[in-house]
Amino acid sequence: MSVMSCVTVILLIDLVCSGQVLWRIKDHVHNIQQAKVKQHLTHATPKKGTIHQPVDHFDRQNDKTLPQTYFVNDVYWQRSDGPVFLYIGGEGPLSKFSVLFGHHVEMAERHGALLVALEHRFYGESINPDGLETDKLRDLSSQQALADLAAFHHYISQRFSLSHRNTWISFGGSYAGALSAWLRGKFPHLIYGAVASSAPVYAVLDFSSYNRVVGHSLTNEAVGGSKKCVAEVKGAFAAVEAALLMGNETEVGKEFGCCETPLKLEDKTELLHSLADVFMGTVQYNEQGVAFSIAELCDIMTNKSDPREEAYDRLVKLVMMYRARENLPCLDVSHEKLFLELNNTTATSSYRQWFYQTCTEFGFYQTCEDDSCPFSRRFTLQSQTELCSRLFNISQDSLLVSIDFTNQYYGGNQPQTQRVLYVNGNIDPWAALSVVWNETMADNDRVIFINGTAHCMDMNSEKSVNKPALHQARKRIEERVTTWLKSAALKI
C-alpha cells in the first residue's frame, strides 16, 4: 500500500498509504503543519456545518443519508457577486484550517472570494452512521464524492443567495487534486476553473514508477541527493535481506528496534516495508517537516567517517534517529496487526477506507520489482493485491477492470479538460501519475512543473516555504486564476 496525501498545511489531502510508517509520516506532517498554522492565526473563526447527503446519489429508491462536514470563511467575501473558492477534502479528516490557511486562502483574500470546504464522505466526521463494514463501503467512491460536491454547490448557492454571477474555482491536492480536476470535467457548468495540485489522475495497478522516482530523487543533487546515496541505500537493503535470510532475525529485530522479532516471512517483508517507508516518506514530503530531508538522510547514509561501519550500520543509525525524532518506541512489523487494523470497521485512522478505494478505483500499489527500485524485491504486486481479496473479496481481475474504468471515465493523464491547471513538483513520486509537460503537448498552459519540490508544496502558504521556483509557481497559479475570473466576468 502506499500513502498519498498531501498533508499540506491544513489541507489534509493525501493519498494512498503505504505501510504503517508512511501513514504515520503523513499524519505527522499534517500535525506539524497544523501547529504552524495555529501560530499564524489570530482572527477569523470559520463556520462549521453539516449537510445531509443521500448515501447513494445514484439510487433514488435509497432514502438513507450521510452527514457531511463543511467549513465556510466569509471574511474576505465583499461583493455578492464575488467568486467562490471551493477547497476539496481528500482521504482524511478535514479541519477548519482548510478555509484559513494555504495558498488558496491567500488568493481568496486578494480576490474577495467566499471560501468553502467540504470533507470527503467516509472520512473524518463524515462517516456513514452504519459504519465501515464492507457492504457499507460500497457508497464510498470518487463518483459519489463528486456528486456530493455538486449538491454542496447547490446548498451553498441557496444559503448565500448565489447566482451564475458567482464564479466557482475548485482547489485540491493529491487525491483531492484529482477530484478538483474531475469536478471541473464532469460539472463544467458549476465549476469554472480548477487547480489540481499533485493530482494522480492516472489510475494504475502496479505503481512501480513511484519507487523509480524515489530512487531518482535520492540521486538529485539539487535537493542533496547523490548516486552514492542511492548505492548506499541499495547496499543497506541487500544487507538487511541477507541477514534475515541467514537466520539473524533476532539481531536484526533488536538493531532496528522492532516491536516483535520478525520471524514470519510476511513480518520480514513488513520490516523491509517499514524501512523503505522512511525513505519514501522523506522523498514525498521533502522539506515539509518530516524527520529528515533528503539532504540529511543522504548525509547519514553516505557518512563513512567511521571505517568500521557498513551501509547496514548506517541504516540502523538512521532508523534509530528516525524513531527518536518521531517518538516511536518501536517499529511495528507484524503483518497480522496491519491486517487487523485494515479489517477494523471502527478504527479512526482512515486507513481502511483509503485502502478500499485503492482496491475499487485506483490501485496505486507501490511495488519494487524492477531494477530502478532501491529497496526490496519483496514488495510485489501480489503481496498488496492479496489484501484486497482478503479484506474485501476483490480479485485482481476485477481490480484491473475497475482501474480501466476509472481511466476511461475520467480520461487518465491525457484528459480533454479545459481550464484545469495541473501543478506538480519534480521530486514528488506521485507526479508520475499526473499531467506533466510533454513535447507533444500543443500548449503548456495547463501544466506547472516545479523544480525541486515534493508533494503538494505549492498549496502551502506563501509565508511558510520560500524557494524561488515555488514562489514563481504560485505566481503563475494566481495569474491563471486571475485570468479565469476575468474571462468569467466578461461572459456575464
Ligand X SMILES: *[C@@H]1O[C@H](CO)[C@@H](O)[C@H](O)[C@H]1NC(C)=O
Q: Verify whether residue 104 is a known catalytic residue.
A: no
Q: 424: closest CA among 378, 391, 473?
A: 473
CB of 300 to ligand X, least distance (A): 6
- Residue 451 phi, psi (nearest 5): -75, 120
From 14-22, 44-52, 99-107, 300-308, span contacting ligand X (CB under 6 A): 300-308
- How are beta strands 168-173 and 84-88 bridged, if at all? parallel
- Residue 131 phi, psi (nearest 5): 100, -165
CB of 299 to ligand X, least distance (A): 5
* Footprint (CB under 6 A) of ligand X, residues 226-255: 242-243, 246, 248, 251
CB of 59 to ligand X, least distance (A): 21
Closest CB to ligand X among residues 157, 407 = 407
- Grid cell digits, residue 457: 508544496
Binding flag, residue 300, ligand X (CB under 6 A):
yes
CB contact set of 312 (below 8 Å; sequence gap of 6+): 235, 236, 239, 240, 243
- Grid cell digits, residue 204: 494504475
Amino acid at 185: G
Q: Are the CB atoms for 225 and 291 separated by under 8 Å?
A: no
Q: Are the CB atoms for 208 and 440 separated by under 8 Å?
A: no
CB of 210 to ligand X, least distance (A): 16
- DSSP-assigned beta bridge partners for residue 363: 204
Determine which one of 332, 428, 434, 461 is catalytic: 428
From 35-43, 88-96, 111-119, 299-307, span contacting ligand X (CB under 6 A): 299-307
Interior/surface letters 436-464, b for 16+ CB within 10 angstroms, e for the rest: beeeeeeeeebbbbbbbbbbbbbbbbbeb
From 113-121, 274-282, 340-348, 371-379, span contacting ligand X (CB under 6 A): 340-348
DSSP label at 331? B
Closest CB to ligand X among residues 151, 300 = 300
CB of 29 to ligand X, least distance (A): 21
Alpha carbon 120 to chain centroid distance? 13
* E runs forming strands in 77-129: 84-88, 114-118
Q: Between the CA atoms of 427, 429, 432 and 437, what dihedral angle is there, to the nearest 10 degrees?
A: -20
Q: How close are the terminal C-alpha atoms of the chain, in Å? A: 47
Q: Verify whether residue 80 is a known catalytic residue.
A: no
Place of cell 478535514: 94
- Grid cell digits, residue 50: 453539516
From 272-280, 326-334, 337-345, 403-411, span contacting ligand X (CB under 6 A): 337-345
Closest CB to ligand X among residues 22, 433 = 433
Give the number of residues in contact with ligand X, rule: CB under 6 A: 24
Q: What is the number of other CB atoms lying within 10 angstroms of the CB of residue 472?
A: 13
Provide the CB-side half-sphere exposure for 30 (13 A, CA). 24
From 61-69, 167-175, 343-351, 370-378, span contacting ligand X (CB under 6 A): 343-351
CB of 451 to ligand X, least distance (A): 4
Binding flag, residue 372, ligand X (CB under 6 A):
no
Instruction: Please name the residue ranges forming H helices in 164-292.
Output: 175-186, 208-219, 227-245, 249-255, 265-284
Binding flag, residue 345, ligand X (CB under 6 A):
yes
* Footprint (CB under 6 A) of ligand X, residues 128-147: 133
Among 344, 444, 483, 487, binds ligand X (CB under 6 A): 344
CB of 246 to ligand X, least distance (A): 4
Closest CB to ligand X among residues 75, 243 = 243
**Distance between CA atoms of residues 259 and 268, nearest Å:** 12
Among 42, 158, 440, 466, binds ligand X (CB under 6 A): 440
Using only the alpha carbons of the chain, give its radius of gyration: 22
Among 34, 143, 219, 343, binds ligand X (CB under 6 A): 343
* Footprint (CB under 6 A) of ligand X, residues 389-428: 393, 414
**Distance between CA atoms of residues 187 and 394, nearest Å:** 30
From 62-70, 103-111, 339-347, 373-381, span contacting ligand X (CB under 6 A): 339-347
Closest CB to ligand X among residues 157, 396 = 396
Closest CB to ligand X among residues 163, 393 = 393
* Footprint (CB under 6 A) of ligand X, residues 249-288: 251
**Distance between CA atoms of residues 275 and 484, nearest Å:** 45
**Distance between CA atoms of residues 316 and 332, nearest Å:** 15
From 138-146, 298-306, 371-379, 416-424, span contacting ligand X (CB under 6 A): 298-306
Q: Verify whether residue 455 is a known catalytic residue.
A: yes
* Footprint (CB under 6 A) of ligand X, residues 193-222: 222
Closest CB to ligand X among residues 86, 427 = 427
Closest CB to ligand X among residues 72, 435 = 435
Active site residues: 174, 428, 455
**Contact positions vs ligand X (CB under 6 A):** 133, 222, 242-243, 246, 248, 251, 299-300, 303, 305-306, 340, 343-347, 393, 414, 438, 440, 451-452
